[in-house]
Amino acid sequence: MRTASLAALALFALCAEDAQAGSEARPVSHFPIELSADFAKQIERNLAASGTRIAMVFRTGRAREDLPDGIRYTHGAFWIYSEVAGENGEMLRGYSVHNLYHGEDNRQQSYLAQDWPLNFTQGDVVGEVGIIIPSPEMQRRLLMLFVRGDIRALHQPAYSLIANPLDERFQNCNELMLDMVAAAAWETTDRDVLKTNLAAWFEPARVQTSLLERMFGPSVDDRIRLDDHDGPIRTATFASMGDFMTRFNLASDVYELKADFLDASES
Q: What is the pLDDT of residue 197?
A: 98
Taking residues 91-118, what's their average pLDDT?
92
What does the longest C-alpha to C-alpha distance in the chain come to?
58
Which residue range(s) make up the domain with 157? 2-266
Q: Are 61 and 75 in contact (CB under 8 A)?
A: yes
CA angle, residues 16, 17, 22, in degrees to nearest 5: 90
Taking residues 4-11, what's their average pLDDT?
44
Q: What is the pLDDT of residue 51?
A: 97
Q: Are 233 and 166 in contact (CB under 8 A)?
A: no
Residues 121 and 43: their CA atoms lie apart, in Å, by 9
- CA dist list (Å): 251 to 86, 243, 244: 32, 9, 9
As a whole number, the mean pLDDT across the chain is 86
Least confident of 28-42, 134-148, 193-207: 28-42
Per the model's pLDDT, the better-predicted residue between 267 and 166 turns out to be 166
Taking residues 85-92, what's their average pLDDT?
77
Least confident of 5-9, 30-34, 70-74, 226-230: 5-9
Beta-carbon-side half-sphere exposure of residue 212 (alpha carbons within 13 Å): 10
Q: What is the pLDDT of residue 85?
A: 72
Residues 122 and 17: their CA atoms lie apart, in Å, by 11
- CA dist list (Å): 73 to 1, 34, 50: 26, 22, 23
| 163 Cβ contact list (under 8 Å, min separation 6) | 170, 171, 172, 175, 228, 235, 236
Least confident of 15-24, 143-152, 156-165: 15-24
Q: What is the pLDDT of residue 159?
A: 93
For residue 236, the tally of other CB atoms under 10 A from its CB is: 29
Per the model's pLDDT, the better-predicted residue between 127 and 63 turns out to be 127
Q: What is the pLDDT of residue 237?
A: 95
DSSP 113: E
Confidence of residue 267 (pLDDT cuts 50, 70, 90): low
Q: What is the pLDDT of residue 10?
A: 46
% of the chain with per-residue pLDDT over 90: 64
Domain count, the chain: 1
- For the cut 60, the answer to whether the pLDDT of residue 234 exceeds it is yes
Residues 209 and 120: their CA atoms lie apart, in Å, by 29
pLDDT in tens, 196-222: 999 999 999 988 765 445 545 556 676
Q: What is the pLDDT of residue 23?
A: 30
Q: What is the pLDDT of residue 211?
A: 47
Residues 188 and 150: their CA atoms lie apart, in Å, by 10
pLDDT in tens, 160-191: 988 999 999 999 999 999 999 999 999 999 99
